C-alpha cells in the first residue's frame, strides 16, 4: 500500500492510500481511506480512481481530471477532520458507521436533489438546442421510471430496470438514454456531487443501423422520372442535397443568399458550428435558381415556421417518387391511388448516404469523403483550408460527372 497522507487526531488515525496491487483490469487504482483506532481498522472507498501512482496530495497533472480528483480528496479529508474534532472519544462502532457515511457521501444523500433534476440541470449547460432536448427527454424518462431516484440509489439493477422500463424502444434509443445518464454521473463526480458510479461494470448495448443508400442507376431514375407538380420541389431539393455534398437538411434550408459567393457556399454547420466551404455544381445552380426564397436562399421556409415541418412533408413525398397507379375501390370506381416508389423507404438523408456511397465506389479516399460530408473541418491554417477545399472540389466534380454519365 502506498501511503499518500497521514493525519493523527487523538485516538483515531486515518490514511488516504492507493493499493497498487489492487489495480483493476481497466488500469485504474481505487483511492481509499484507512481508519485505525483502538487496535481496529476499517477501509472506506472515496469514489476516486487514479491511473498513476502519486504520494502526498501532489497528483500528477497527467492524471485525467486531476484537479477535480484532488479537490475531491481534500474535501473528504476536511470533512473527516471536522468529524473527528466534533466526535473525539466516541466509540469505535459509532465512528465507523458515521465516518463511512461521511467519506462515501451517504450523509448528504438525503439532502440531494433527485437524479432527474440533476439531468435537467445538466441539460441547461448544453449549448446546442437538440442536445439539451435529448437530456430533458432522458430526465422525463427517469422521472417516469423512478422519480425518487438519487445518485446513490442507482446501481446495476436499477439500470437494468430502466432499460426494461423503456420496453420495445430500439436498442440505440435505449443506449442514448443510458449514455446520457452516464454522462451526468461523470459530470456529478467531477463536481463532487456523488462518489457512486454504477456504470463501472455495466455495458450499454448498441446495434448497427442499416444505411439506406441507393445506386447511381436509381439516382438517375429519380432525377429523370416524371413527377406530379406537387412532387417536383421535393424531388429537386433531394437532388440538390446530393449535389451539395449530402448537405444536412437543417443547413440547406437555413442557407442565406449571402452564403453564396463566387460559385461556392460558405456557412457554419448547425451540428458542429464549424466552417464549411463547398462548390456549387452546375445542376445545383439550376435548382437553386428555380426555388429562390425571400428571407432564405431557398423558398421552403417562406411557408413553414419550422424546418422540421417541411422535412416531414419532404420525407412523405420522397416515398412516392415513382409510378402512380389508380386502382378500383370496393365498388369498382377508380379512386384509390397506389404508389410504386423507385426506392422503398427513401428519406432526405438517403441523398447524404448515397453521396458517400458513390464516392467510395469511385475509390475517393475516406478522409476526402469525410471532408465533403463536413465530418472534419478543423480550425487550422488557411494553407490547409485551401488544400482541403481543393480535395472537396475534385471529389464533387468526379461524383457529379459520374452521375451525369461523363
Q: What is the pLDDT of residues 31-45, one digit of tens each?
A: 888 888 878 888 888
**Can you name the residues that pair with 321 across neighbouring β-strands?**
none
- Cα 147 from chain centre: 24
The dihedrals phi and psi of 80, each to the nearest 5 degrees, come to -65, -45
Phi, psi for 308 (deg, rounded to 5): -65, -35
What pLDDT does residue 59 have? 67
Question: Can you tell me the distance from the alpha carbon of 238 to that of 316, in angstroms, rounded to the nearest whole number?
Answer: 12
More confident: 230 or 23: 230
Which range is least confidently modeled, 47-51, 342-346, 352-356?
A: 47-51
Please, which residues have CB within 8 angstroms of residue 25's CB and are 6 or more apart in sequence?
Answer: none
pLDDT band at 172 (very low <50, low <70, confident <90, very high): confident
* The pLDDT value given to residue 244: 96
For 306, the grid coordinates are 419550422
Read off the pLDDT band of 2 (50, 70, 90). very low
- pLDDT in the model for residue 286: 95
CA angle 110, 112, 113 (to 5 degrees): 125
Helix (H) or strand (E) holding 144: helix 129-146
The DSSP bridge partners found for residue 41 are 36
In contact, 121 and 135? CB cutoff 8 Å: no
Q: Distance between CA atoms of 387 and 363, rounded to whole angstroms?
A: 19
Query: At 377, is the pLDDT very low, low, confident or very high (cuts 50, 70, 90)?
Result: very low
Residue 13: count of CB within 10 angstroms of its CB: 15
pLDDT at 379 over 50: no
CB-CB contact of 385 with 277 (8 Å): yes
Query: What does the mean pLDDT of the chain come to?
Result: 83
Q: What confidence category does residue 47 fall into, taking pLDDT thresholds of 50, 70 and 90?
A: confident
Residue 53 has a pLDDT of: 65
Taking only the tens place, the pLDDT of each residue in 238-269 is 999 999 999 999 999 999 999 999 999 999 88
| Per-residue pLDDT at 351 | 94
Amino acid at each position: 500500500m502506498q501511503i499518500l497522507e497521514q493525519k493523527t487526531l487523538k485516538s483515531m488515525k486515518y490514511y488516504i492510500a492507493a493499493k497498487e496491487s489492487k489495480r483493476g483490469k481497466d488500469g485504474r487504482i481505487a483511492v481509499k481511506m484507512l481508519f485505525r483506532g483502538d487496535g481496529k481498522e476499517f477501509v472506506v472507498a472515496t469514489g476516486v480512481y487514479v491511473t498513476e501512482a502519486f504520494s502526498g496530495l501532489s497528483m500528477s497533472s497527467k492524471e485525467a481530471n486531476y484537479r477535480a480528483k484532488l479537490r475531491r480528496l481534500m474535501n473528504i479529508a476536511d470533512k473527516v477532520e471536522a468529524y473527528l474534532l466534533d466526535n473525539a472519544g466516541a466509540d469505535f462502532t459509532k465512528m465507523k458507521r458515521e465516518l463511512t457515511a461521511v467519506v462515501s457521501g451517504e450523509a448528504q444523500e438525503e439532502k440531494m436533489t433527485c437524479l432527474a433534476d440533476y439531468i435537467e440541470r445538466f441539460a441547461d449547460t448544453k449549448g446546442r438546442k437538440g442536445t439539451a432536448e435529448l437530456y430533458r427527454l432522458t430526465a422525463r424518462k427517469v422521472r417516469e421510471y423512478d422519480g425518487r431516484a438519487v445518485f446513490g440509489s442507482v446501481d446495476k439493477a436499477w439500470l437494468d430496470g430502466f432499460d426494461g422500463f423503456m420496453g420495445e424502444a430500439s436498442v440505440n434509443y435505449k443506449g442514448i438514454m443510458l449514455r446520457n445518464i452516464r454522462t451526468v454521473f461523470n459530470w456529478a463526480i467531477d463536481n463532487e456531487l456523488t462518489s457512486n458510479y454504477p456504470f463501472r461494470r455495466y455495458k450499454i448495448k448498441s446495434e448497427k443501423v442499416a444505411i439506406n443508400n441507393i445506386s447511381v442507376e436509381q439516382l438517375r431514375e429519380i432525377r429523370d422520372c416524371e413527377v406530379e407538380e406537387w412532387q417536383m420541389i421535393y424531388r429537386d431539393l433531394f437532388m440538390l442535397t446530393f449535389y451539395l455534398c449530402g448537405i444536412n437538411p437543417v443547413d440547406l434550408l437555413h442557407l442565406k443568399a449571402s452564403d453564396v459567393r463566387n460559385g461556392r457556399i460558405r456557412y457554419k454547420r448547425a451540428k458542429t458550428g464549424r466552417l464549411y466551404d463547398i462548390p456549387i455544381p452546375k445542376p445545383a445552380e439550376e435548382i437553386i435558381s428555380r426555388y429562390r426564397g425571400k428571407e432564405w436562399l431557398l423558398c421552403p421556409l417562406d411557408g413553414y415556421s419550422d424546418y422540421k415541418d417541411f422535412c416531414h412533408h419532404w420525407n412523405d413525398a420522397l416515398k412516392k417518387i415513382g409510378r402512380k397507379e389508380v386502382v378500383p375501390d370496393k365498388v369498382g370506381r377508380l379512386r384509390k391511388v397506389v404508389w410504386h416508389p423507385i426506392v422503398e423507404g427513401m428519406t432526405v438523408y438517403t441523398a447524404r448516404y448515397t453521396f458517400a456511397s458513390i464516392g467510395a465506389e469511385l475509390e475517393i479516399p475516406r478522409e476526402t469523403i469525410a471532408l465533403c460530408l463536413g465530418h472534419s473541418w478543423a480550425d487550422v491554417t488557411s494553407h490547409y483550408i485551401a488544400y482541403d477545399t481543393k480535395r472537396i472540389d475534385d471529389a464533387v466534380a468526379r461524383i457529379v460527372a459520374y452521375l451525369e454519365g461523363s
